[in-house]
């Protein structure tokens, strides 16, 4: 617990990892109930979180600041994960498995855009023009949409799993500008011939949102099979355009996250892909526990 102050909550936090851009108004002034500013006169009033490595946390304190010892029972911050990969590399499939085990909020840029299309909004109409050509939807639509979803209370409380964003250096820069950085960047690596086969055979259940593949993940029964739908951009011709867009941008995005990238072999069965991801996330979660339990600033 804290020493030098009698009013410290055990949920002190040492990292402004989801703070709004300093030049923009904060749309969510108190997004995390675990966040607070200390009132000690010598303390620099920056929101503090538990999971910050000691070296950086020390920079937040003035020389006369009180010393704080973090209780071993400190609640670790929820995980923040980005999953990336070529079209049909299995991002959505893995997100189903990850959210089931880790309880993270799944935020898919593609799903958000398809929801706009289904709602026949102006953004949706514009987005569809780009999606049909396998191109990136303009940042004016995508960036705010994703950012607002990341700032929702459920994403901040449960942690998030961002799927299909960022897809360009400008989108990655926008996240960095907002102070939004993942703990880990998972890259699904799948060979191109497999990608085309996965796209063409993909089907979706509009009732449950579950992803199927006619060969690799067939529907459980005839009732489900009869209601499956296919995405308008899931043709061999369109996936080639989507792949080209992916290749044009992927290196720029990777360069932003190279220190936290975990490359996963996505060519194997989905259960085996998940084993690799699960091992990576378990490792990250354990590291965070060690960090949050050992901080003495």
Tell me, yes or no, if 288 is annotated catalytic. Answer: no
Which one among 18, 61, 107, 137 touches ligand AP5, defined by CB under 6 A? 137
Taking alpha carbons only, the member of 198, 270, 254 closest to residue 231 is 198
Residue 92 binding ligand AP5, by CB under 6 A: yes
Residue 80 binding ligand AP5, by CB under 6 A: no
Longest dimension (CA), the chain: 70
Nearest residue (beta carbon) to ligand AP5: 110
Tell me, yes or no, if 167 is annotated catalytic. Answer: yes
β-strands 211-213, 202-204 pairing: antiparallel
Residue 79 binding ligand AP5, by CB under 6 A: no
Stretch that binds ligand AP5, among 2-10, 98-106, 172-180, 197-205 (CB under 6 A): 197-205
- Which helix (H) or strand (E) segment holds residue 82: the answer is strand 80-85
Tell me, yes or no, if 198 is annotated catalytic. Answer: no
Q: Are 251 and 244 in contact (CB under 8 A)?
A: no
* Concatenated DSSP letters of 8-28: --TT-B---TTPPPTTS--SS
Closest distance of CB 111 from ligand AP5, Å: 7
Helix intervals (H) in 72-158 = 91-102, 109-118, 122-132, 139-150, 153-158
Closest distance of CB 208 from ligand AP5, Å: 14
Stretch that binds ligand AP5, among 15-23, 69-77, 81-89, 283-291 (CB under 6 A): 81-89
Residue 180 binding ligand AP5, by CB under 6 A: no
Cα gap 25→40, rounded to integer Å: 26
Partners of 106 in beta bridges: 161
Residue 136 binding ligand AP5, by CB under 6 A: yes
Q: Are 131 and 233 in contact (CB under 8 A)?
A: yes
How many residues at the interface with ligand AP5, by CB under 6 A? 34
Q: Which of 231, 240, 270, 288 is catalytic?
A: 231
Torsion angle (degrees, nearest 10) of CA 89, 116, 156, 255: 40
Closest distance of CB 296 from ligand AP5, Å: 40
Query: Could you tell me the two tokens for 265?
Result: 């072999």
Q: Which of 49, 80, 91, 238 is catalytic?
A: 91
Kindly list the catalytic residues: 91, 167, 202, 231, 242
Contact set with ligand AP5 (CB under 6 A): 85, 87-93, 109-110, 113, 130-131, 134-137, 142, 164-165, 167, 171, 198, 201-202, 211-213, 216-217, 242, 269-270, 273
């Amino acid at each position: 617990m804290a020493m030098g102050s009698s009013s410290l909550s055990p949920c002190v936090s040492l990292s402004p990892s989801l703070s709004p851009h300093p030049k923009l108004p904060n749309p969510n002034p108190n997004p995390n109930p675990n966040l607070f500013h200390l009132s000690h006169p010598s303390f620099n009033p920056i929101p503090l979180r538990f999971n910050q490595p000691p070296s950086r946390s020390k920079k937040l304190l003035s020389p006369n600041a009180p010393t704080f010892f973090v209780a071993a029972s400190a609640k670790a911050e929820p995980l923040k994960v980005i999953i990336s990969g070529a079209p049909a590399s299995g991002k959505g499939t893995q997100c189903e498995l990850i959210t089931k085990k880790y309880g993270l909020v799944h935020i898919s840029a593609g799903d958000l855009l398809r929801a706009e299309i289904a709602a026949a909004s102006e953004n949706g109409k514009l987005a569809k023009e780009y999606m049909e050509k396998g191109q990136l939807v303009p940042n004016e639509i995508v960036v705010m949409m994703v950012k607002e979803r990341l700032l929702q209370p459920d994403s901040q409380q449960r942690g998030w799993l961002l799927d299909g964003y960022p897809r360009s250096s400008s989108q990655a820069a926008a996240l960095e500008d907002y102070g939004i950085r993942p703990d880990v960047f998972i890259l699904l690596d799948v060979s191109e011939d497999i990608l085309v086969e996965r796209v063409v055979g993909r089907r979706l259940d509009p009732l449950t949102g579950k992803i199927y593949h006619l060969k690799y993940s067939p529907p459980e029964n005839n009732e489900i099979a009869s209601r499956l739908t296919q995405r308008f951009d899931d043709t061999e011709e369109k996936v080639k355009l989507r792949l080209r867009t992916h290749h044009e941008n992927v290196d720029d995005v990777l360069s932003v996250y190279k220190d936290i990238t975990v490359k996963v072999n996505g060519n194997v069965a989905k259960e085996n892909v998940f084993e690799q991801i699960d091992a990576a996330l378990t490792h990250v979660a354990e590291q965070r526990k060690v960090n949050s339990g050992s901080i003495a600033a």
